[in-house]
Structure 1
Amino acid sequence: MTLSYPLAPEPDDFARERGRKLFAGDVAFLKGVVAMDGLPPPDRIEVCFAGRSNVGKSSLINALTGRRSLARASNTPGRTQEINYFTTPGGPYLVDLPGYGFAEAPVAVVRKWQALLKDYLSGRQTLRRAFVLIDTRHGVKSVDEEILTLLDKSAVTFQVVMTKADKVSLKDREKALAQVRGALAKHPAAYPEIVLTSSEKGDGIETLRALIASLE
């Protein structure tokens, strides 16, 4: 019996090298966007990273790019209120979306950036894949279901990247994977492979680099 939503396989040498080259170049911050009319020209494909506050999004982007402070992490959940664009040399834009869920910000501010998030996901034609980050310690929560449903409605292919895999035991990791697989079965836009990562240990980073480099 084939396992639904298996872990993404290790890349072969060619794919690993292509991913390494993409992220070995000068990856740079381009701009922070607070409204749709501020988005850069759709002159290349892009991938975005979405996840609830404190899921480890900034740490993952920093691990991918090999730069400790390219994406700035905040100790305050929900602090990032912009869509942050990064350029890769000859490759796609990397797009860091505002954290969703709990936020220490005024209600009106939260609503504004949630609306921006929805507009972006449903209206950006050059978006090739959304990577939705799920904390391995917690699995898919109700607030994650909202974003997954939005991606279904927007017909945006999304792939789950499980973060902080090193923070749980092997037994608990398997429980989390089973819970995530069950949740993904309800979402037609879900890409049929999961990437298991640890930004601290480097696990899964080569796999994710190779996946991004393969998109066209």
Structure 2
Amino acid sequence: MSAGGPGPEAEFTPEAIEAARVLFAAECRFVWAAATVDQLPPIGLPEVAFAGRSNVGKSSLVNALTGRKTLARTSNTPGRTQELIFFDLGGRLQLVDLPGYGYAKVSKTKVQLWTDTLFAYLRGRTSLQRVNLLIDSRHGLKDSDLQAMDLFDRAALSYQVVLTKADKPKSPELAAVMEQTAAALAKRPAAHPVIRPTSSLTGAGIPELRAELARFAV
């Protein structure tokens, strides 16, 4: 839902929710990994990407969306995913797990390489339709998230905030985070205004996010 806006039931019909469920239940297979711009795969299917701080729950969210437990790698060690990971969803959509950011225990050279690769991907990837920017609902926006948003804005790429672990904070705390995030997004030219709270543990918000992303499938 958006802060102060209509709930998910006003956004998607039951048919759209079911069609998205069927899409994300299709075969989803790893197809490519890229650590540098030169290693990016050829442009093909429409792509939706997932970005966020290390350990924000990106892999868990991808697994929840596709109804699998081991599709995307999960780790208790921040910064483990250091490549762009591409998954083919039923031959209709490509899911891209981007390297986590905001983890300090790597060299500045490595961080710069990730940043350069990511910006080149964001700016030049004509098949990329949407970036899902994952924010931990317990903490809200951090400085590294704002820096990522600067990157997306410079690339003129549409991105949408997805709150993860929304089952953890109490309702007033979650509402406050959503309000603060909405205020920050209002100043961002490339930001989608709708904020999606989700929980990979309980499944809350997952059907609506599927329906949102299914719009980009061929």
**Shared fold (TM-score, shorter chain, > 0.5):** yes
Pair 1:39–1:106, CA change in 2 (3 A) = same
Aligned-pair CA distance for 1:29: 1.0
- 1:111 matched to which residue of 2? 112
Cα deviation for residue 162 of structure 1 reads 0.5
The answer on whether the counterparts of 2:137 and 2:165 sit within 8 Å (CA) in structure 1 is yes
Please list, as runs of the form range in 1=range in 2, the aligned pairs for 1:139-178 lying within 5 A after superposition: 139-178=140-179
1:89 offset after TM fit, Å?
0.8
Determine the C-alpha separation between the residues in 1 that align with 2:98 and 2:5.
26
Distance 1:170 1:4, change over 3 A: closer
Runs of 5+ consecutive residues of structure 1 not aligned to the other structure: none
Aligned residue in 2 for 1:122: 123
The alignment of Structure 1 onto Structure 2 pairs a total of residues equal to 214
3-state SS of paired residue (2:167):
helix
Matched, 1:214 2:215: yes
Q: What does the per-residue CA deviation read over 1:167-198, in whole Å, with 9 as the maximum and x for residues that have no partner? A: 00011111111110111111011112111100
SS of alignment partner, residue 68 of structure 1: coil
Q: CA deviation at 1:206?
A: 0.5
SS at match of 2:129: strand
CA contact (8 A) 1:46 1:93 kept: yes
Give 1:199's aligned residue.
200
SS of corresponding position for 1:165 = coil
Superposition pairs of residues 5-84 of structure 1, within 5 angstroms: 6=5, 9-10=8-9, 11-84=12-85
Taking the aligned partners of 2:195 and 2:186, their CA distance within structure 1 comes to 12
Amino acid at match of 2:184: A
SS of the equivalent of 1:160 reads strand
Other structure's SS at 1:28 match: strand
Contact 2:37/2:121 (CA < 8 Å) preserved in 1?
yes
Deviation at 1:106, TM superposition (A): 2.9
User: Quick one: percent identity of the two aligned structures?
Assistant: 49
- RMSD over aligned Cα atoms: 1.5
After TM superposition, the score normalised by the length of structure 2 is: 0.93
- CA positional deviation for 1:34: 1.0
Query: Does structure 1 conserve the Cα–Cα contact (< 8 Å) formed by 2:78 and 2:103?
Result: yes
Cα 1:196–1:32 change in 2 (3 A) is same
Partner Cα distance (2:45, 2:74) in 1? 26
Q: Is the 1:161–1:196 contact (alpha carbons within 8 Å) kept by the matching residues of 2?
A: yes
Contact 1:6 1:192 in 2 (8 A): no
Of 174-183 and 5-14, deviating more is: 5-14
**SS of residue paired to 2:174:** helix
Q: Say which SS state the counterpart of residue 14 (structure 1) adopts.
A: helix
